Chains A and B, each alone.
Chain A
Amino acid sequence: MKYLKKLIIFFVIIIPTYSSAGFFEDLTSIISDNPKRLSYGVSVTDVNQDGNFDFVVTGFGYPNLALSYENGKLINIINQKKFTDEFRRTIGVAACDIDKDGYEEIYFLNTDTYSGTKKYSDRLIDFDGRKFIDLFETEKNQKDLNLTAGRSVVCVDRKGDGNYGIYVANYGGPTRFYEYSNDIIIDKSVQLNLAKVTGGRAVVAGHIISDNIDIFAANERGANFLYENKKGKFLDVAYEYRVEDVLQNGRGTALSDIYYRGRLDILNGNWGGFHRAYVLKNNIFKDIAKPPYDEPSRIRTIISADFDNDGFDEIFMNNIGEKNKLFKILDNGVIEQIPLDIALEKDGYGTGAAVADIDNDGILELLVSHGESVDQPLSLYKAKIDSTKKYLRIKPLNKYGAPARGATVTLISNLRKHSKTIDAGSGYLCQMEPVAHYGIRKKEKNIKIQIKWTNGETKIMSVKNLNQTITIKQK
């Protein structure tokens, strides 16, 4: 009998670790009209300027979609050809306000060939309140069209003044950096020291090594780039910081506060290679990844987010033609795998994924796109959590009223100092909602929020009430 007692006590201790076997619930059925298709990147932005975020899903020979949450359903709300544009084969997408009107434009990176010269240029979609226009179709903007195959795009407020440029990670041709200059969109990649030729895959931007917006690009068949922002121009310091990883082929990448220490480090997946968890120490990024996290897989998007509102971020690894994986980042850099059943997608051909609290209930939804070699419908998941868990969502807007993509939000409490980036894109083809979403830990108190804007200036404020989205505008 006493052995039976021991066994019971033991399992009472152990079982909570594994009670997460049903971590997600499947909400795919709320996606209206969800046929099999070839999809790639997903972004989250307010497409129709109604104050709510929508999922933008790219189509490769299929229409680009804008999925809006209405009456408990995710519904495609855009059918205008400039936006849907199934012929140009869109794979990468990122949104940011490049014309400083307070609304985000959407950059669609089209790729009709694997590498090198392509037939169709990219689109930069603006909404005039009635119809969508492609800014690259305006004659004055056609001088520097991108006619090279690419993968990812990221928004970069390089001078910290709200004037966003767009870094285009091309494949087999030079990188592009588009920015408005004297009311014309031009490529400034050469003058900013960004026009390198590589197999561009993922690219992220944020406060990585400086108080300005730096860029990390994970490449294929060549070294990664880590661009330190030097007064608005860039210097590649990947070798010095030891993130060049020449022999690996970069894919999903996300900025994440791996040690909950108030700074952004780098999660970097490699195709069929070792997945990295780079943490900065003494001006060198040290890869602390160990099995099972670092085990090679057919990785695509990597997302770092607190799905279950427990105050610890998860890492979702979206694999193609291979099971997805989920991990939780515990204290002290320990990365623990969470068993998946829902969202495992063992036969899934995941090509992209993004998170947003699309239904505004304080819990993140995860939209996964599929395609490449197998047409499959989209899938939508949400963590199964109990209603007692609390959250806090911080939505920083820049001085023009647009999402402050690239800014860093830090939650400071008695238990942690936890930084999150306002996602600028395009960890691999995708871009998350421009909100820092925090679950609240047990016994957490004295919560303050610090925002580091894209110009490096900081603002700190106390938070009294939880379970809300706080919008903070830059002055």
Chain B
Amino acid sequence: MKFLNNIVKFTVVCALTLLFSNISNSSEKNYYKELITDWSRIFPDQNRNAAGPKFFKYIIDKDITYEDFIEYNKLYCAVSGSLIDPNAEPDFLFVSERKTNEKICGDYYKCCIPCSCDVMKYSKVEKMKYKFINGLKEFYVFTIKNPCNKKDFPNRVNRNYFCDGEKINNDQVYNLNGRVVIGLLHKGRSCKKVEIDFIRSHQITGSFCELRNNTPLENLETGMGDIFIKLAR
């Protein structure tokens, strides 16, 4: 009898699953779709060059949970400003913390390999606290110094996105201790020696990045070329 009962229950569950899978009222969030839909709100002039900070600001200004925040931040490249495929795998890398110079390890979602190198060399991470709708959370973010007093501000980047005169434009990008937040370091934590060794010996974060980061700017053609570097250096 118990067996028969279980069959009935199983059948009911299967049938209900089948029934509701055909109805277009799923409440599951599609973060990628939201970013695509709102893309022209984020970039009204359609210039997303090096504009990861615009994505970060747009996301953190939303009324969302910490979990939503994490998911959204997997979908753009902090260096280039490109959207990233939802199924993309991150690179495991380290970046120096601004205050301590300690190496902080974590995952970086990138649009292309050179961006991992650029973020390692030209950004710093900082710990940031923020109150989401489900509570106060602490996490590491990539930052670059205020680019607004640069004389060689890259002309392919929309300066108005970043700057209000020589100050950071707080309406457009997130200002953390006088630096521009460009994106989130996922699962950031202090590196162990074995992790640093792994990253340094990895074919991308090791040998490829060493090559890229020692190439003169004028010879950089892959990734964002020299646009982000000129902005961040």
A interface list, Cβ under 8 A from B: 3, 6-7, 10-11, 14, 17, 223, 239, 244-248, 273-274, 287, 289-294, 327, 334-339
A245 and B35 CA atoms in complex are apart in Å by 11
In the complex, per-residue mask of B1-41: 1 if CB is within 8 Å of any chain A CB, else 0: 10011011001100100010111111010100100110110
Chain A residue nearest in CB terms to B8:
A3
Whether A6 and B8, one on each chain, are in contact in the complex, defined by CB atoms closer than 8 angstroms, is yes
In the complex, per-residue mask of B116-144: 1 if CB is within 8 Å of any chain A CB, else 0: 00000000000000000000000000000
A245 and B30 CA atoms in complex are apart in Å by 16
Chain A residue nearest in CB terms to B33:
A274
Whether B22 and A336, one on each chain, are in contact in the complex, defined by CB atoms closer than 8 angstroms, is yes
Whether A289 and B24, one on each chain, are in contact in the complex, defined by CB atoms closer than 8 angstroms, is yes
Give 5 CB contacts A-B under 8 Å: A11-B15, A274-B36, A290-B24, A291-B30, A292-B21
A337 and B46 CA atoms in complex are apart in Å by 35
Q: Which of B21, B22, B33 is within 8 Å of A294, CB to CB?
A: B33
Residues of B close to A7: CB separation below 8 A:
8, 11
- B residues contacting the other copy or chain, number (CB 8 A): 24
Whether A3 and B5, one on each chain, are in contact in the complex, defined by CB atoms closer than 8 angstroms, is yes
Whether B24 and A291, one on each chain, are in contact in the complex, defined by CB atoms closer than 8 angstroms, is yes
Residues of A close to B8: CB separation below 8 A:
3, 6-7
- Kindly state whether residue B83 has any CB partner on chain A within 8 Å: yes
Interface centre among B8, B23, B39 (most CB of A within 10 A): B23
Q: Which of A223, A246, A273, A327 is within 8 Å of B24, CB to CB?
A: A327
Whether B11 and A244, one on each chain, are in contact in the complex, defined by CB atoms closer than 8 angstroms, is no
Whether A336 and B36, one on each chain, are in contact in the complex, defined by CB atoms closer than 8 angstroms, is no
Whether B36 and A248, one on each chain, are in contact in the complex, defined by CB atoms closer than 8 angstroms, is yes
A335 and B26 CA atoms in complex are apart in Å by 11
Chain A residue nearest in CB terms to B43:
A246
CB distance from A296 to the nearest CB of B (A): 10
Q: Which of B5, B24, B37, B83 is within 8 Å of A336, CB to CB?
A: B24
Residues of B close to A11: CB separation below 8 A:
15
A223 and B25 CA atoms in complex are apart in Å by 27
A273 and B39 CA atoms in complex are apart in Å by 14
Whether A287 and B22, one on each chain, are in contact in the complex, defined by CB atoms closer than 8 angstroms, is no
Whether B37 and A337, one on each chain, are in contact in the complex, defined by CB atoms closer than 8 angstroms, is no
A337 and B26 CA atoms in complex are apart in Å by 13
B interface list, Cβ under 8 A from A: 1, 4-5, 7-8, 11-12, 15, 19, 21-26, 28, 30, 33, 36-37, 39-40, 46, 83
CB distance from A23 to the nearest CB of B (A): 13
A287 and B33 CA atoms in complex are apart in Å by 11
Residues of A close to B24: CB separation below 8 A:
289-294, 327, 334-337
Whether B12 and A334, one on each chain, are in contact in the complex, defined by CB atoms closer than 8 angstroms, is no
Residues of B close to A10: CB separation below 8 A:
11-12, 15
Residues of B close to A245: CB separation below 8 A:
36-37
Residues of A close to B21: CB separation below 8 A:
292
Whether B37 and A287, one on each chain, are in contact in the complex, defined by CB atoms closer than 8 angstroms, is yes
Whether A14 and B15, one on each chain, are in contact in the complex, defined by CB atoms closer than 8 angstroms, is yes
Interface centre among A244, A291, A293, A334 (most CB of B within 10 A): A291
Contacts A7-B11, A287-B37, A290-B25 aside, 15 further interface pairs with beta carbons under 8 A come to: A7-B8, A10-B12, A11-B15, A17-B22, A244-B40, A246-B40, A247-B83, A274-B30, A274-B36, A290-B26, A291-B30, A293-B24, A294-B24, A327-B24, A338-B22
Whether B22 and A292, one on each chain, are in contact in the complex, defined by CB atoms closer than 8 angstroms, is yes
A3 and B7 CA atoms in complex are apart in Å by 9
Residues of A close to B23: CB separation below 8 A:
334-337
Q: Which of A17, A239, A291 is within 8 Å of B26, CB to CB?
A: A291
Whether A3 and B40, one on each chain, are in contact in the complex, defined by CB atoms closer than 8 angstroms, is no
Chain B residue nearest in CB terms to A332:
B25
Chain B residue nearest in CB terms to A270:
B36
Residues of B close to A244: CB separation below 8 A:
40
Closest 9 CB pairs of A and B: A335-B24, A293-B24, A337-B22, A246-B40, A290-B24, A3-B4, A290-B26, A336-B23, A3-B8
A327 and B24 CA atoms in complex are apart in Å by 9
Residues of A close to B11: CB separation below 8 A:
7, 10
A6 and B12 CA atoms in complex are apart in Å by 10
Whether A17 and B19, one on each chain, are in contact in the complex, defined by CB atoms closer than 8 angstroms, is yes
A6 and B22 CA atoms in complex are apart in Å by 24
A11 and B7 CA atoms in complex are apart in Å by 14
Residues of A close to B46: CB separation below 8 A:
246
Known A3-B5, A291-B24, A335-B24; contact A14-B40, beta-carbon cutoff 8 A: no
Whether B25 and A334, one on each chain, are in contact in the complex, defined by CB atoms closer than 8 angstroms, is yes
A6 and B23 CA atoms in complex are apart in Å by 24
CB distance from B51 to the nearest CB of A (A): 14
Residues of A close to B19: CB separation below 8 A:
14, 17
Interface centre among A11, A247, A273 (most CB of B within 10 A): A247
Residues of B close to A14: CB separation below 8 A:
15, 19
